[in-house]
Amino acid sequence: MTSLVQITDVTLAEPIPEALVGRHIDHPRRESRIEAHELDIAGWVLSGGPPVRSVEVVHEGSVIRRVPLNWTRHDIADAFGHVQGAAQSGFRTTVPFGGGAAELELDVRAVLTDGRRVPIGTVRGRRAWRDGDALGNDGLVSVVIPCRNQAHFLADAIQSVISQSYSDHEIVVVDDGSTDNTGAVAAQFPGVRYLYQEHLGAPAARNAGMRNTTGAFLVFLDADDRLLPDALRAGIDAFLAHPESGFVWGLWRPIASDGSSIPASETRPVVDDLFTALLRQCFLTIGAVMFRRGVFEGGRTFDPSLDAGDDWDLYLTSVREFPVHCHGTTVFEYRRHGRNMTRDAAKILTSELRVLRRHRRAASAVAGGRQAYRAGRRLAREYHGPRVVEQIRAAVRQRHWRVACRRGFVLLRHHPRALVSLLRRG
Protein backbone atom coordinates (compact mmCIF):
# COMPACT_ATOMS: atom_id res chain seq x y z
CA MET A 1 0.00 0.00 0.00
CA THR A 2 2.59 2.49 -1.09
CA SER A 3 1.67 6.16 -0.98
CA LEU A 4 1.28 7.48 -4.51
CA VAL A 5 0.51 10.65 -6.39
CA GLN A 6 -2.21 10.34 -8.99
CA ILE A 7 -1.72 12.94 -11.71
CA THR A 8 -5.15 14.38 -12.32
CA ASP A 9 -4.27 16.97 -14.97
CA VAL A 10 -1.38 18.33 -17.03
CA THR A 11 -2.22 21.51 -18.93
CA LEU A 12 -0.19 23.85 -21.13
CA ALA A 13 -0.45 27.61 -20.96
CA GLU A 14 -2.95 28.71 -23.59
CA PRO A 15 -2.67 30.47 -25.88
CA ILE A 16 1.04 29.88 -26.36
CA PRO A 17 2.87 32.80 -24.78
CA GLU A 18 4.10 35.31 -27.34
CA ALA A 19 7.72 34.97 -26.21
CA LEU A 20 7.81 31.24 -26.98
CA VAL A 21 8.03 29.26 -30.20
CA GLY A 22 6.90 26.05 -28.53
CA ARG A 23 6.68 24.24 -25.21
CA HIS A 24 5.49 20.95 -23.80
CA ILE A 25 5.41 18.91 -20.57
CA ASP A 26 6.18 15.31 -21.50
CA HIS A 27 6.23 13.90 -17.99
CA PRO A 28 4.27 13.24 -15.86
CA ARG A 29 1.31 12.15 -17.93
CA ARG A 30 -2.30 12.71 -16.97
CA GLU A 31 -3.88 9.80 -15.00
CA SER A 32 -0.49 8.25 -14.24
CA ARG A 33 0.37 7.09 -10.71
CA ILE A 34 3.83 7.57 -9.30
CA GLU A 35 5.64 7.16 -6.00
CA ALA A 36 4.63 9.94 -3.66
CA HIS A 37 8.04 10.91 -2.33
CA GLU A 38 9.17 12.68 -5.49
CA LEU A 39 7.83 13.69 -8.87
CA ASP A 40 9.79 13.79 -12.14
CA ILE A 41 8.94 16.70 -14.43
CA ALA A 42 10.33 16.78 -17.97
CA GLY A 43 9.61 18.63 -21.21
CA TRP A 44 11.00 21.23 -23.57
CA VAL A 45 10.70 24.94 -24.27
CA LEU A 46 11.90 27.20 -27.11
CA SER A 47 12.02 30.98 -27.13
CA GLY A 48 11.55 33.13 -30.21
CA GLY A 49 13.45 36.02 -28.64
CA PRO A 50 15.74 36.16 -25.63
CA PRO A 51 16.98 32.62 -24.91
CA VAL A 52 15.62 30.54 -22.05
CA ARG A 53 18.02 30.69 -19.11
CA SER A 54 16.30 28.10 -16.89
CA VAL A 55 13.01 26.47 -15.98
CA GLU A 56 11.32 26.93 -12.60
CA VAL A 57 8.82 24.79 -10.76
CA VAL A 58 6.59 26.85 -8.47
CA HIS A 59 4.41 25.61 -5.61
CA GLU A 60 2.08 27.98 -3.75
CA GLY A 61 3.98 30.98 -5.06
CA SER A 62 7.43 29.71 -4.06
CA VAL A 63 10.12 28.41 -6.42
CA ILE A 64 10.97 24.87 -5.28
CA ARG A 65 13.21 23.91 -8.24
CA ARG A 66 15.19 25.85 -10.83
CA VAL A 67 17.16 23.98 -13.52
CA PRO A 68 18.93 24.98 -16.75
CA LEU A 69 17.98 23.44 -20.07
CA ASN A 70 19.80 20.20 -19.29
CA TRP A 71 18.38 17.62 -21.70
CA THR A 72 19.39 17.18 -25.34
CA ARG A 73 16.31 16.90 -27.58
CA HIS A 74 17.18 15.75 -31.10
CA ASP A 75 13.48 15.40 -31.90
CA ILE A 76 12.94 19.09 -31.22
CA ALA A 77 16.01 19.98 -33.28
CA ASP A 78 14.51 18.04 -36.20
CA ALA A 79 11.17 19.81 -35.87
CA PHE A 80 12.54 23.31 -35.18
CA GLY A 81 15.87 23.25 -37.00
CA HIS A 82 15.53 26.93 -37.88
CA VAL A 83 15.37 27.95 -34.19
CA GLN A 84 18.68 28.48 -32.43
CA GLY A 85 19.20 26.20 -29.42
CA ALA A 86 16.50 23.70 -30.40
CA ALA A 87 18.77 20.72 -29.69
CA GLN A 88 19.32 21.92 -26.10
CA SER A 89 15.73 22.83 -25.33
CA GLY A 90 14.89 19.99 -22.94
CA PHE A 91 14.54 20.15 -19.18
CA ARG A 92 14.20 17.49 -16.52
CA THR A 93 14.01 17.79 -12.75
CA THR A 94 12.66 16.05 -9.65
CA VAL A 95 10.58 17.75 -6.99
CA PRO A 96 9.54 16.37 -3.59
CA PHE A 97 5.93 15.77 -2.68
CA GLY A 98 5.45 16.02 1.04
CA GLY A 99 4.06 18.29 3.69
CA GLY A 100 0.96 16.22 4.33
CA ALA A 101 -0.88 17.82 1.42
CA ALA A 102 -3.79 15.98 -0.17
CA GLU A 103 -3.63 18.01 -3.38
CA LEU A 104 -0.67 19.07 -5.50
CA GLU A 105 -0.45 21.92 -7.99
CA LEU A 106 2.84 22.86 -9.64
CA ASP A 107 3.35 25.68 -12.13
CA VAL A 108 6.18 25.24 -14.64
CA ARG A 109 7.62 28.38 -16.21
CA ALA A 110 10.56 29.47 -18.36
CA VAL A 111 12.98 32.15 -17.19
CA LEU A 112 14.33 34.20 -20.11
CA THR A 113 17.70 35.91 -20.14
CA ASP A 114 15.94 39.28 -19.92
CA GLY A 115 14.41 38.22 -16.60
CA ARG A 116 10.87 37.53 -17.76
CA ARG A 117 8.97 34.52 -16.38
CA VAL A 118 6.86 32.85 -19.07
CA PRO A 119 4.32 30.11 -18.19
CA ILE A 120 4.80 26.68 -19.73
CA GLY A 121 2.04 24.73 -17.99
CA THR A 122 0.63 23.27 -14.78
CA VAL A 123 0.77 19.80 -13.21
CA ARG A 124 -1.99 18.80 -10.79
CA GLY A 125 -2.21 15.68 -8.66
CA ARG A 126 -3.67 14.23 -5.50
CA ARG A 127 -2.52 11.78 -2.87
CA ALA A 128 -3.51 8.18 -3.53
CA TRP A 129 -2.63 4.73 -2.21
CA ARG A 130 -1.91 1.55 -4.04
CA ASP A 131 -5.00 -0.08 -2.54
CA GLY A 132 -7.15 2.54 -4.28
CA ASP A 133 -10.23 4.36 -3.10
CA ALA A 134 -12.35 1.21 -2.68
CA LEU A 135 -11.52 -1.31 0.00
CA GLY A 136 -12.27 -4.43 -2.00
CA ASN A 137 -10.43 -7.34 -0.40
CA ASP A 138 -8.10 -4.95 1.42
CA GLY A 139 -10.56 -3.90 4.13
CA LEU A 140 -9.03 -6.09 6.83
CA VAL A 141 -8.25 -4.19 10.04
CA SER A 142 -5.48 -5.62 12.20
CA VAL A 143 -5.88 -4.80 15.89
CA VAL A 144 -2.62 -5.14 17.83
CA ILE A 145 -2.91 -5.38 21.63
CA PRO A 146 0.41 -5.09 23.51
CA CYS A 147 0.15 -6.42 27.05
CA ARG A 148 2.54 -6.26 29.99
CA ASN A 149 1.16 -7.76 33.21
CA GLN A 150 -2.38 -6.55 32.56
CA ALA A 151 -4.15 -9.88 32.14
CA HIS A 152 -6.93 -8.64 34.47
CA PHE A 153 -7.90 -6.04 31.82
CA LEU A 154 -7.00 -7.99 28.68
CA ALA A 155 -10.26 -9.91 28.28
CA ASP A 156 -12.17 -6.62 28.28
CA ALA A 157 -9.95 -5.23 25.52
CA ILE A 158 -10.24 -8.36 23.36
CA GLN A 159 -14.01 -8.54 23.80
CA SER A 160 -14.34 -4.90 22.72
CA VAL A 161 -12.76 -5.86 19.38
CA ILE A 162 -14.76 -9.05 18.93
CA SER A 163 -17.96 -7.04 19.49
CA GLN A 164 -17.23 -4.57 16.68
CA SER A 165 -19.98 -3.83 14.16
CA TYR A 166 -17.26 -4.04 11.47
CA SER A 167 -16.36 -7.70 11.40
CA ASP A 168 -13.45 -7.82 8.93
CA HIS A 169 -10.69 -7.73 11.52
CA GLU A 170 -7.96 -9.79 13.11
CA ILE A 171 -6.58 -9.60 16.66
CA VAL A 172 -2.97 -10.13 17.73
CA VAL A 173 -1.98 -9.99 21.40
CA VAL A 174 1.71 -9.30 21.98
CA ASP A 175 2.85 -10.39 25.44
CA ASP A 176 5.72 -8.09 26.40
CA GLY A 177 7.40 -10.40 28.92
CA SER A 178 4.45 -10.62 31.33
CA THR A 179 4.76 -12.62 34.54
CA ASP A 180 0.98 -13.01 34.96
CA ASN A 181 -1.47 -15.19 33.00
CA THR A 182 -1.65 -13.02 29.88
CA GLY A 183 -1.18 -16.02 27.60
CA ALA A 184 -3.95 -17.98 29.29
CA VAL A 185 -6.39 -15.09 28.94
CA ALA A 186 -5.62 -14.68 25.23
CA ALA A 187 -6.10 -18.43 24.73
CA GLN A 188 -9.70 -18.15 25.92
CA PHE A 189 -10.63 -16.37 22.68
CA PRO A 190 -10.62 -18.56 19.55
CA GLY A 191 -9.00 -16.88 16.59
CA VAL A 192 -6.92 -14.46 18.66
CA ARG A 193 -3.22 -14.83 17.86
CA TYR A 194 -0.75 -14.70 20.73
CA LEU A 195 2.89 -13.66 20.47
CA TYR A 196 5.43 -13.61 23.28
CA GLN A 197 8.58 -11.50 23.47
CA GLU A 198 11.04 -10.73 26.22
CA HIS A 199 10.24 -7.44 27.90
CA LEU A 200 11.21 -4.75 25.36
CA GLY A 201 8.52 -2.14 25.97
CA ALA A 202 5.23 -1.17 24.36
CA PRO A 203 6.76 0.38 21.20
CA ALA A 204 8.62 -2.85 20.38
CA ALA A 205 5.47 -4.86 21.10
CA ARG A 206 3.47 -2.70 18.70
CA ASN A 207 6.11 -3.18 16.03
CA ALA A 208 6.14 -6.93 16.55
CA GLY A 209 2.38 -7.07 16.27
CA MET A 210 2.43 -5.00 13.11
CA ARG A 211 4.98 -7.34 11.51
CA ASN A 212 2.77 -10.32 12.28
CA THR A 213 -0.45 -8.95 10.80
CA THR A 214 -1.73 -8.62 7.26
CA GLY A 215 -4.49 -6.02 7.39
CA ALA A 216 -4.48 -2.95 5.18
CA PHE A 217 -5.38 -0.92 8.27
CA LEU A 218 -3.97 -0.99 11.79
CA VAL A 219 -5.30 -0.12 15.23
CA PHE A 220 -3.10 -0.31 18.33
CA LEU A 221 -5.16 -0.93 21.46
CA ASP A 222 -3.49 -0.98 24.86
CA ALA A 223 -4.55 -3.96 26.96
CA ASP A 224 -6.16 -1.82 29.68
CA ASP A 225 -8.37 0.13 27.26
CA ARG A 226 -11.47 -0.60 25.13
CA LEU A 227 -12.88 0.18 21.72
CA LEU A 228 -16.49 1.27 21.41
CA PRO A 229 -18.65 -1.00 19.19
CA ASP A 230 -18.54 1.20 16.07
CA ALA A 231 -14.87 2.19 16.34
CA LEU A 232 -13.56 0.20 13.38
CA ARG A 233 -16.56 1.11 11.22
CA ALA A 234 -15.97 4.80 11.92
CA GLY A 235 -12.34 4.48 10.87
CA ILE A 236 -13.12 2.57 7.67
CA ASP A 237 -15.88 5.02 6.73
CA ALA A 238 -13.43 7.88 7.26
CA PHE A 239 -10.91 6.25 4.91
CA LEU A 240 -13.61 5.72 2.29
CA ALA A 241 -14.56 9.40 2.51
CA HIS A 242 -10.92 10.57 2.66
CA PRO A 243 -8.91 7.95 0.74
CA GLU A 244 -5.81 10.15 0.62
CA SER A 245 -5.36 9.92 4.40
CA GLY A 246 -2.42 8.20 6.06
CA PHE A 247 -4.33 7.89 9.31
CA VAL A 248 -7.70 8.92 10.69
CA TRP A 249 -8.69 9.45 14.28
CA GLY A 250 -11.64 9.98 16.56
CA LEU A 251 -12.41 11.08 20.09
CA TRP A 252 -12.08 9.22 23.38
CA ARG A 253 -13.61 9.21 26.83
CA PRO A 254 -12.25 8.09 30.21
CA ILE A 255 -13.42 5.11 32.23
CA ALA A 256 -12.59 4.04 35.77
CA SER A 257 -10.54 0.99 36.71
CA ASP A 258 -13.72 -1.11 36.98
CA GLY A 259 -14.89 0.00 33.52
CA SER A 260 -17.53 2.43 34.74
CA SER A 261 -17.92 5.80 33.06
CA ILE A 262 -16.17 8.91 34.33
CA PRO A 263 -18.03 12.15 33.65
CA ALA A 264 -16.04 14.22 31.18
CA SER A 265 -16.74 16.70 28.43
CA GLU A 266 -15.79 15.61 24.94
CA THR A 267 -13.82 18.33 23.21
CA ARG A 268 -12.56 18.38 19.67
CA PRO A 269 -9.44 20.56 19.35
CA VAL A 270 -9.66 23.44 16.91
CA VAL A 271 -6.73 22.78 14.61
CA ASP A 272 -5.56 25.01 11.78
CA ASP A 273 -2.10 23.46 11.46
CA LEU A 274 -2.00 19.94 12.90
CA PHE A 275 1.81 19.80 13.05
CA THR A 276 2.16 22.92 15.20
CA ALA A 277 -0.86 21.91 17.28
CA LEU A 278 0.78 18.55 18.01
CA LEU A 279 4.03 20.27 18.91
CA ARG A 280 2.16 22.13 21.62
CA GLN A 281 0.45 19.02 22.98
CA CYS A 282 -0.20 15.44 21.93
CA PHE A 283 -4.00 15.38 21.98
CA LEU A 284 -4.24 12.18 19.90
CA THR A 285 -4.66 8.93 21.82
CA ILE A 286 -3.24 5.78 20.28
CA GLY A 287 -6.38 3.63 20.55
CA ALA A 288 -8.47 6.27 18.77
CA VAL A 289 -6.25 6.26 15.68
CA MET A 290 -6.55 3.96 12.65
CA PHE A 291 -3.47 3.82 10.43
CA ARG A 292 -3.10 2.82 6.83
CA ARG A 293 -0.36 0.19 6.67
CA GLY A 294 1.44 2.19 4.00
CA VAL A 295 2.38 4.75 6.66
CA PHE A 296 4.83 2.19 8.04
CA GLU A 297 6.60 1.51 4.76
CA GLY A 298 10.21 2.58 4.42
CA GLY A 299 11.18 1.48 7.92
CA ARG A 300 8.87 3.83 9.84
CA THR A 301 7.97 2.27 13.22
CA PHE A 302 7.28 3.12 16.84
CA ASP A 303 10.66 3.98 18.34
CA PRO A 304 11.60 1.33 20.95
CA SER A 305 14.15 3.65 22.54
CA LEU A 306 11.41 5.92 23.89
CA ASP A 307 9.90 5.22 27.32
CA ALA A 308 6.91 7.37 26.35
CA GLY A 309 5.76 9.45 23.41
CA ASP A 310 6.57 6.90 20.69
CA ASP A 311 3.10 7.46 19.22
CA TRP A 312 3.52 11.24 19.48
CA ASP A 313 6.80 10.98 17.57
CA LEU A 314 5.06 8.98 14.83
CA TYR A 315 2.20 11.48 14.56
CA LEU A 316 4.59 14.41 14.20
CA THR A 317 6.46 12.61 11.43
CA SER A 318 3.35 11.39 9.63
CA VAL A 319 1.42 14.66 9.50
CA ARG A 320 4.33 16.25 7.62
CA GLU A 321 4.25 13.49 5.00
CA PHE A 322 0.60 12.42 4.65
CA PRO A 323 -2.85 13.97 4.81
CA VAL A 324 -4.76 12.89 7.91
CA HIS A 325 -8.38 13.28 8.98
CA CYS A 326 -10.39 13.56 12.21
CA HIS A 327 -13.81 11.94 11.83
CA GLY A 328 -15.00 13.22 15.21
CA THR A 329 -16.71 10.03 16.41
CA THR A 330 -16.03 8.82 19.94
CA VAL A 331 -14.38 5.43 19.39
CA PHE A 332 -12.21 4.66 22.38
CA GLU A 333 -12.31 4.34 26.17
CA TYR A 334 -9.16 5.14 28.13
CA ARG A 335 -8.97 3.39 31.49
CA ARG A 336 -7.62 5.41 34.39
CA HIS A 337 -6.13 3.26 37.10
CA GLY A 338 -3.28 3.13 39.57
CA ARG A 339 -0.59 1.84 37.27
CA ASN A 340 -0.92 4.42 34.52
CA MET A 341 -1.08 7.17 37.13
CA THR A 342 2.16 6.13 38.87
CA ARG A 343 4.52 5.57 35.96
CA ASP A 344 8.02 7.03 36.27
CA ALA A 345 7.36 10.71 35.56
CA ALA A 346 11.08 11.43 35.12
CA LYS A 347 11.33 8.92 32.27
CA ILE A 348 8.19 10.30 30.66
CA LEU A 349 9.47 13.88 30.88
CA THR A 350 12.83 12.89 29.38
CA SER A 351 11.20 10.97 26.52
CA GLU A 352 8.72 13.71 25.67
CA LEU A 353 11.47 16.33 25.52
CA ARG A 354 13.46 13.96 23.27
CA VAL A 355 10.48 13.72 20.93
CA LEU A 356 10.22 17.49 20.72
CA ARG A 357 13.95 17.89 20.07
CA ARG A 358 13.68 15.50 17.11
CA HIS A 359 11.17 17.78 15.44
CA ARG A 360 12.80 21.08 16.37
CA ARG A 361 14.35 21.64 12.92
CA ALA A 362 11.04 20.90 11.18
CA ALA A 363 9.29 23.23 13.61
CA SER A 364 11.69 26.05 12.75
CA ALA A 365 10.76 25.74 9.07
CA VAL A 366 7.01 26.44 9.48
CA ALA A 367 5.08 29.49 10.57
CA GLY A 368 4.49 29.44 14.31
CA GLY A 369 6.59 26.31 14.71
CA ARG A 370 9.18 27.75 17.08
CA GLN A 371 6.52 29.16 19.37
CA ALA A 372 4.69 25.82 19.32
CA TYR A 373 7.91 23.95 20.08
CA ARG A 374 8.61 26.17 23.09
CA ALA A 375 5.02 25.82 24.28
CA GLY A 376 5.29 22.03 24.05
CA ARG A 377 8.48 21.99 26.11
CA ARG A 378 6.92 24.28 28.70
CA LEU A 379 3.79 22.14 29.01
CA ALA A 380 5.81 18.92 29.36
CA ARG A 381 7.88 20.45 32.16
CA GLU A 382 4.91 22.01 33.94
CA TYR A 383 2.81 18.83 33.75
CA HIS A 384 5.43 16.22 34.63
CA GLY A 385 7.69 18.34 36.85
CA PRO A 386 5.40 18.33 39.92
CA ARG A 387 4.87 14.57 39.51
CA VAL A 388 8.64 14.05 39.46
CA VAL A 389 8.91 16.12 42.66
CA GLU A 390 6.28 13.98 44.39
CA GLN A 391 7.99 10.79 43.28
CA ILE A 392 11.34 12.06 44.59
CA ARG A 393 9.74 12.76 47.96
CA ALA A 394 8.20 9.30 48.01
CA ALA A 395 11.57 7.74 47.19
CA VAL A 396 13.24 9.70 50.00
CA ARG A 397 10.58 8.59 52.50
CA GLN A 398 11.24 4.98 51.48
CA ARG A 399 15.03 5.58 51.57
CA HIS A 400 15.41 4.74 47.89
CA TRP A 401 18.30 7.15 47.54
CA ARG A 402 19.47 6.10 44.09
CA VAL A 403 15.97 6.49 42.65
CA ALA A 404 15.62 9.90 44.27
CA CYS A 405 19.00 11.03 42.94
CA ARG A 406 18.27 9.79 39.42
CA ARG A 407 15.01 11.69 39.30
CA GLY A 408 16.67 14.73 40.83
CA PHE A 409 19.25 14.76 38.01
CA VAL A 410 16.38 14.72 35.50
CA LEU A 411 14.92 17.84 37.11
CA LEU A 412 18.35 19.48 37.23
CA ARG A 413 18.74 18.94 33.51
CA HIS A 414 15.24 19.57 32.24
CA HIS A 415 13.33 21.56 34.87
CA PRO A 416 15.67 23.15 37.44
CA ARG A 417 12.92 25.46 38.71
CA ALA A 418 11.01 22.44 40.03
CA LEU A 419 14.19 21.16 41.70
CA VAL A 420 14.68 24.52 43.43
CA SER A 421 11.10 24.30 44.65
CA LEU A 422 11.76 20.82 46.00
CA LEU A 423 14.90 21.91 47.85
CA ARG A 424 13.19 24.95 49.37
CA ARG A 425 10.29 22.94 50.71
CA GLY A 426 12.56 20.14 51.89
Range scoring the smallest mean pLDDT among 91-100, 236-245, 388-397, 404-413: 91-100
List the one residue out of 329, 333, 311, 330 whose CA is nearest residue 159: 333
Is 199 a domain residue? yes
Is 153 a domain residue? yes
Q: Is the dihedral of CA 51, 54, 55, 57 positive or negative?
A: negative
What is the predicted pLDDT for the residue at 115?
94
Is 391 a domain residue? yes
Helix (H) or strand (E) holding 131: none
What is the predicted pLDDT for the residue at 132?
47
Same domain? 56 vs 198: no
Q: Is the dihedral of CA 122, 127, 133, 136 positive or negative?
A: positive
102 vs 344, higher pLDDT: 344
- Give the C-alpha separation, 196 to 183, whole Å: 8
Same domain? 58 vs 149: no
CATH of the domain at 36: 2.60.40.10
- Give the C-alpha separation, 122 to 8, whole Å: 11
Torsion (CA) 175, 177, 178, 179 in degrees, nearest 10: 150
Range scoring the smallest mean pLDDT among 16-25, 330-339, 340-349: 340-349
Burial of 62 (0-12, 13-18, 19+ CB in 10 A): exposed
- Give the C-alpha separation, 43 to 23, whole Å: 7
Is 27 a domain residue? yes
Same domain? 264 vs 387: no
What is the predicted pLDDT for the residue at 289?
97
Same domain? 162 vs 59: no
28 vs 342, higher pLDDT: 28
Same domain? 325 vs 401: no
What is the predicted pLDDT for the residue at 290?
98
What is the predicted pLDDT for the residue at 65?
93
pTM > 0.75: yes or no? yes
Residue 217 in 3-state DSSP? Answer: strand
Is 349 a domain residue? no
Is 411 a domain residue? yes
Looking at 129, 154, 173, the residue that finishes a domain is 129
Same domain? 221 vs 243: yes
Is 20 a domain residue? yes
Is 353 a domain residue? no
Residue 2 has pLDDT above 70, yes or no: no
Rounded mean pLDDT of 49-62? 94
Total domains in the fold of the chain: 3
Rounded mean pLDDT of 108-128? 93
Same domain? 391 vs 420: yes
Looking at 341, 376, 405, the residue that finishes a domain is 341
What is the predicted pLDDT for the residue at 134?
46
> What one-letter code names the amino acid at 311?
D
What is the predicted pLDDT for the residue at 133?
44
What is the predicted pLDDT for the residue at 31?
82
What is the predicted pLDDT for the residue at 216?
92
| CA terminus-to-terminus distance, the chain | 57
Query: Which domain range does residue 76 map to?
Result: 3-129
CATH of the domain at 175: 3.90.550.10
- Give the C-alpha separation, 275 to 283, whole Å: 12
Same domain? 207 vs 332: yes
What is the predicted pLDDT for the residue at 404?
87
What is the predicted pLDDT for the residue at 81?
87
Same domain? 36 vs 172: no
ω into residue 15 within 30 of 0, thus cis?
yes
Looking at 105, 129, 153, the residue that finishes a domain is 129
- C-alpha dist (Å) from residue 179 to 104, 151, 195, 217: 51, 10, 14, 30
Q: In the predicted model, what is the mean pLDDT of the chain?
A: 90
Same domain? 174 vs 119: no
Same domain? 321 vs 175: yes
Q: What is the CA radius of gyration of the chain?
A: 27
- Could you give the percent of the chain with pLDDT greater than 90? 69
- Could you give the percent of the chain with pLDDT greater than 70? 92
Q: From the CB of residue 127, how many other CB atoms can be counted at a distance below 10 Å? A: 22
What is the predicted pLDDT for the residue at 136?
46
> Cβ(336)–Cβ(113) under 8 Å?
no
Same domain? 282 vs 404: no
pLDDT bin (cut points 50, 70, 90) of residue 389 is: confident
